[in-house]
Amino acid sequence: MSTKKTLFDKVWDSHVVKHVEDGPDVLFIDRHLVHEVTSPVAFLGLKNRNVGVLFPNKTFATADHNTPTINQHLPVKDPLSANQLKALEENAKEHGISHWGLGHEKNGIVHVVGPEYGITQPGATIVCGDSHTSTHGAFGAIAFGIGTSEVEMVLSTQCIMQPKPKKMRINIEGELNFGVTPKDVALFIISKLTTSGATGYFVEYAGDVFENMTMEGRMTVCNLSIEMGARGGMIAPDEKTFEYIKGREFTPKGADWDKAMAYWETLKTDEGATFDKELTFSASDIEPMITYGTNPGMGMGISKSIPNAEDLEGGVATYKKSLGYMAFNEGEDMIGKPIDFVFIGSCTNGRIEDFRAFTSIVKGRKKADNVTAWLVPGSHKVEAAIKEEGLLDILQEAGFELREPGCSACLAMNDDKVPAGKYAVSTSNRNFEGRQGPGSRTLLASPLVAAAAAVTGKVTDPRELMKELA
Amino acid sequence: MAYDKFEILKSTAVPLPIENVDTDQIIPARFLKATERKGFGDNLFRDWRYNGDDTPKSDFVLNNPTYSGKILVGGKNFGSGSSREHAAWAVYDYGFRCVISSFFADIFKGNCLNIGVLPVQVSPEFSEKIFAEIAADPNTEIEVNLPNQTVTILKTGEQESFEINGYKKQNMLNGFDDIDYLNNIKGDITEFAKELPL
Distance from CA of A122 to the nearest CA of B (A): 10
Is B85 close to A148, i.e. CB distance below 8 A?
yes
Considering only alpha carbons, which residue of chain B is nearest residue A226?
B81
Which residues in chain A touch residue B111, judged by CB atoms under 8 angstroms apart? Answer: 147-149
Q: What is the mean pLDDT of chain A?
A: 97
The pLDDT of residue A2: 63
Distance from CA of A235 to the nearest CA of B (A): 19
The pLDDT of residue A134: 98
**pLDDT tens digits, A21-56:** 999 999 999 999 999 999 999 999 999 999 999 999
C-alpha angle A146-A147-A151 in degrees, rounded to nearest 5: 80
Q: Could you give the count of Cα atoms lying within 13 Å of B54 in the half-sphere of its Cβ?
A: 2
The pLDDT of residue A469: 56
The pLDDT of residue A312: 86
**What SS3 state is found at B94?**
helix
Distance from CA of B43 to the nearest CA of A (A): 13
Query: What is the C-alpha to C-alpha distance for residues A397 and A392, in angstroms, rounded to an integer?
Result: 8
**pLDDT tens digits, A270-280:** 999 999 999 99
Is A153 close to B182, i.e. CB distance below 8 A?
yes
Beta strands in A24-100 (DSSP E): 25-28, 31-34, 59-62, 98-100
Q: Residue A337's pLDDT band (boundaries 50, 70, 90)?
A: very high
Which residues in chain A touch residue B125, judged by CB atoms under 8 angstroms apart? Answer: none
Q: CB distance from B157 to chain A under 8 Å?
A: no
**pLDDT tens digits, B1-28:** 568 899 999 999 999 999 999 999 999 9
Buried b (16+ CB within 10 A) or exposed e, A353-381: bbbebbbbbbeebebbeebebbbbbbbbb
The pLDDT of residue B134: 98
Q: How many residues does chain A have?
A: 470
The pLDDT of residue B1: 54
Considering only alpha carbons, which residue of chain A is nearest residue B197?
A263
Crossing angle of the two packed helices A462-469 and A352-362, in degrees rounded to 10: 70
Which residues in chain B touch residue A150, judged by CB atoms under 8 angstroms apart? Answer: 110, 114, 178
Which residue of A41, A161, A163 is in closest CB contact with B178? A161
Q: Residue B67's pLDDT band (boundaries 50, 70, 90)?
A: very high
Which residue of B28, B106, B168 is in closest CB contact with A200? B106
Is B19 close to A130, i.e. CB distance below 8 A?
no
Q: Is the pLDDT of residue A240 over 60?
A: yes
Which residues in chain B touch residue A159, judged by CB atoms under 8 angstroms apart? Answer: 182, 189
**pLDDT tens digits, A149-201:** 999 999 999 999 999 999 999 999 999 999 999 999 999 999 999 999 999 99
Query: What is the C-alpha to C-alpha distance for residues B44 and A269, in angstroms, rounded to an integer?
Result: 43
Name the H helices within chain B.
Answer: 23-26, 46-49, 86-94, 106-115, 124-136, 166-174, 178-184, 186-194
Residue A291, CA distances (Å) to A223, A237, A424 in order: 17, 31, 11
Considering only alpha carbons, which residue of chain B is nearest residue A201?
B106
Of A404, A407, A406, A442, nearest in space to A426 by CA: A442
Q: CB distance from B184 to chain A under 8 Å?
A: no
Which residue of B1, B167, B197 is in closest CB contact with A263? B197
Q: Tell me which of B22, B31, B35 to substitute to probe the interface with A (most A C-beta atoms closer than 10 Å).
A: B35
Q: Residue B133's pLDDT band (boundaries 50, 70, 90)?
A: very high
Strand partners, A354: none
Is A23 close to B105, i.e. CB distance below 8 A?
no
Q: CB distance from B8 to chain A under 8 Å?
A: no
Which residues in chain A touch residue B49, judged by CB atoms under 8 angstroms apart? Answer: none
**pLDDT tens digits, A107-161:** 999 999 999 999 999 999 999 999 999 999 999 999 999 999 999 999 999 999 9
Q: What is the mean pLDDT of residues A225-229?
A: 98
The pLDDT of residue A315: 87
Q: Is the pLDDT of residue A232 over 60?
A: yes
**pLDDT tens digits, A366-412:** 999 999 999 999 999 999 999 999 999 999 999 999 999 999 999 99
Is A40 close to B34, i.e. CB distance below 8 A?
yes
Residues 125-154 of B with CB under 8 A from A: none
Q: Residue A358's pLDDT band (boundaries 50, 70, 90)?
A: very high
Crossing angle of the two packed helices A352-362 and A215-223, in degrees rounded to 10: 100
Is B114 close to A48, i.e. CB distance below 8 A?
no
Q: Is the four-CA dihedral A151, A155, A156, A157 of positive or negative sign?
A: positive
The separation between CA B36 and the C-alpha centre of its own chain, rounded to angstroms, equals 20
Q: CB distance from B186 to chain A under 8 Å?
A: yes
Q: CB distance from B18 to chain A under 8 Å?
A: yes
Strand partners, B98: B71, B118
The pLDDT of residue A313: 80
Which residues in chain B touch residue A51, judged by CB atoms under 8 angstroms apart? Answer: 183
Is A87 close to B1, i.e. CB distance below 8 A?
no
| Pair B162, B99: CB distance under 8 Å | no
The pLDDT of residue A299: 98
Q: Residue B195's pLDDT band (boundaries 50, 70, 90)?
A: confident
Residues 6 or more apart whose Cβ sits within 8 Å of residue B89: B37, B40, B115
Q: Tell me which of B76, B77, B83, B92 to substitute to probe the interface with A (most A C-beta atoms closer than 10 Å).
A: B83
**pLDDT tens digits, A418-442:** 999 999 999 999 999 999 999 999 9
**pLDDT above 70 covers what percent of chain A?**
99
Of A1, A8, A9, A5, nearest in space to A273 by CA: A5
Is A24 close to B165, i.e. CB distance below 8 A?
yes
Is A22 close to B167, i.e. CB distance below 8 A?
yes
Distance from CA of A105 to the nearest CA of B (A): 24
